[in-house]
Chains A and B, each alone.
Chain A
Amino acid sequence: SQKIEQNSEALNIQEGKTATLTCNYTNYSPAYLQWYRQDPGRGPVFLLLIRENEKEKRKERLKVTFDTTLKQSLFHITASQPADSATYLCAVERSGGYQKVTFGTGTKLQVIP
């Protein structure tokens, strides 16, 4: 089964800096990987999806990279704002031809004004 590792410790950064979150996976190479944001007391909200044949994906201040050799995805938030403070979850496709994903435990980001 797929195992997902995200930084278990909270990440604190200064407003305006770039936040970088890491997602590492083991076992087979997934066809795609997703990033979600979760605020306290709410369900996760989809942010970005990147496929195995894509090296990088961008959406406004967000950037995701996917390195299938390292079995790693990096999630960047540029010009971070206090409103970006949340827990960010990585979700990795579990098996070919199927839309089940395995979620990581998430990394809590705190952007300090």
Chain B
Amino acid sequence: DADVTQTPRNRITKTGKRIMLECSQTKGHDRMYWYRQDPGLGLRLIYYSFDVKDINKGEISDGYSVSRQAQAKFSLSLESAIPNQTALYFCATSGTNYGYTFGSGTRLTVV
């Protein structure tokens, strides 16, 4: 099994719908992150969490919310999806050695 698992892998949704992207990890890491990736842009941080009781906004949090259900689970929600939220979304974890472990990504299309 992958260290960081994201579901779904692909999703097409309509404008205005609520959608949740899920992430689970088996690394035992406390720190978890959600990034989005767009053509021509670097990965941009949406939200991050350093433990179950800690949630922090990243640089592009508007339109998104997160929930850290357990150390191993961190979900990202789009309350009312809009077309410019079409992107690749990555969940990542990190331990004390700084480097990230990324999931395989979720390709989200909002039509």
Q: Do A and B bind each other?
A: no
